[in-house]
Amino acid sequence: MTSPFELTVTVAPGDIDELGHVNNTVYLRWVQEVATAHWQAIAPAAERSAVAWVVTRHEIDYKAPALPGDEILLRTWVGKATRLTFERHTEIRRRSNEQLLAQARTLWCPINSATGRPTRVSAEVRSQFST
């Protein structure tokens, strides 16, 4: 298995909703941000310019609220990767105590950056990311 990729973010004032905690849509943004950062950090330059990603499915389970000022640990890894689908897992944790705040499973489809059509990802790239 490849090592999980991690990114730390801090809850910003604009992330807080009328209930005083991070809005659910922010968790979704974080899932996308850590996935993008992982791709940018690991994929070869030629792949990064040739391939873009679209989400075909998000599943998020919310466990506990993130609060103003919290430092958040975003941890992601790819599970099963086929030629046209990458299953990505994400954990969202409070950095101070590692409490699980949310977990997500997202299906991503690679697309050709020039045509916008689904494209295949090489076996070499799949092996760099997937379990």
CATH number at residue 105: 3.10.129.10
Cβ proximity of 104 and 31 under 8 Å? yes
pLDDT tens sequence across 6-15 = 999 999 999 9
pLDDT value, residue 3: 85
Note down the domain range covering 79: 5-129
Query: Which distant-in-sequence residues (6+ apart) come within 8 Å of 127 by Cβ?
Result: none
Q: Which of 18-22, 33-37, 124-128 has the lowest mean pLDDT?
A: 124-128
Q: What is the pLDDT of residue 53?
A: 95
Question: Residue 65 gets which letter from DSSP?
Answer: -
Provide the pLDDT confidence category of residue 131 given band limits of 50, 70 and 90.
low
Number of domains in the chain: 1
Give 37-95 pLDDT, tens digit per residue.
Answer: 999 999 999 999 999 999 999 999 999 999 999 999 999 999 998 888 999 999 999 99
- Whether the CB-CB separation of 75 and 37 falls below 8 Å is answered with no
Cα separations in angstroms, 40 against 49, 55, 71? 10, 17, 22
Q: Is the dihedral of CA 56, 73, 29, 62 positive or negative?
A: positive
Whether the pLDDT of residue 1 is over 70: the answer is no
